[in-house]
Amino acid sequence: MKKLIVALILILTIQVFGQDYTANSMSSKNTSTTVLDSVATFTGTAELLRGYNSVSVTVRADQSGTYKILFGNTSTITTANAVKTYSFSYTANDTLHTKSVPADAPYMKVVFTNSGDTQTKFYLITMLNKGQTIAIDEFGSPLVSISRVSTTGYGTHFFGKHDTVITTTDTTTVPFILWCEGEIKANDSCEVSIDGAFTTGYTFIITETTAVTIPKWAILSSNKLYIRRYGGAGTVTFYLRLFGY
């Protein structure tokens, strides 16, 4: 009988405490990379937040805009019936914009409205966060750090808890290799963005043989990204943000 009781306690402990370490996930219903016309709106689909206690929204675009994070008690959330609404403004080409808010109701969705000019670049990602509530400041911004490194050549750069600079010969055949430190699990991702004078001469490479041309920010589904630059030497800054880390 004692052994049975101990076994039951162990099972319950695993079930209760194991849930706290489940990876965060991206809300595909409230994520988009489709550019918007003048004053057009992206409207996400209501997402059930069971098991999640905060929501993070990251925006990158070449035009300004505004967006709302709506929370409601049913899946038919509108601006009128939302029980809680968070409103934010986005400034064109802001590469550091992420807002995090607590989950105030069972359902949420994101609505983004573009400014008066048509976008040529747009990226909005919504993350659903489990475990400990994200620390945020009074403006809703997460209290996280972003690693960065500047270089004038080509080399391998490791990001995460420290900055590393490796300068090599300027060449178009040897790509940068960017790593996200730590364990990257399913549905986790990290974001890489580039700032500098040569932002148009880059190719993001998922493998060394498969090239995919992406704007100057990209989401990684694994812990490694190759970047090959075509153009002359110049100082460029790389930024990295980890999600679900």
At residue 124, the pLDDT reads: 94
At residue 23, the pLDDT reads: 66
Neighbour order of strands in the sheet with 202-205: 156-159, 176-180, 224-229, 202-205, 211-212
3-state secondary structure of 29: helix
At residue 189, the pLDDT reads: 41
CA–chain centroid gap for 60, Å, is 10
Look at residues 144, 129, 229, 109 and name the one whose alpha carbon lies nearest to residue 187: 129
> Per CATH, which fold does 147-243 belong to?
Jelly Rolls (2.60.120)
At residue 119, the pLDDT reads: 95
Full pLDDT tens readout for the chain, 245 residues: 555 554 544 444 444 443 444 468 889 999 999 999 999 999 999 999 988 888 999 999 999 999 999 999 999 998 889 988 989 999 999 888 888 888 888 999 999 999 999 999 999 999 998 865 444 444 554 444 334 333 333 333 333 333 333 333 333 444 444 444 333 333 334 444 444 333 344 444 444 444 444 333 444 444 444 445 444 444 444 444 443 33
Each residue's pLDDT tens digit, 150-182:
333 333 333 333 333 333 333 344 444 444 433
Q: What span, in angstroms and rounded, lies between the C-alpha atoms of 179 and 157? A: 7
Q: What span, in angstroms and rounded, lies between the C-alpha atoms of 87 and 57? A: 12
Look at residues 206, 3, 15, 243 and name the one whose alpha carbon lies nearest to residue 125: 243
Q: What span, in angstroms and rounded, lies between the C-alpha atoms of 151 and 164? A: 10
At residue 2, the pLDDT reads: 58
> Per CATH, which fold does 23-129 belong to?
Jelly Rolls (2.60.120)
Each residue's pLDDT tens digit, 216-239:
344 444 444 444 544 444 444 444
Two tokens, residue 129: 């966060």
At residue 130, the pLDDT reads: 83
Delimit the CATH 2.60.120.380 region(s) of the chain. Answer: 23-129
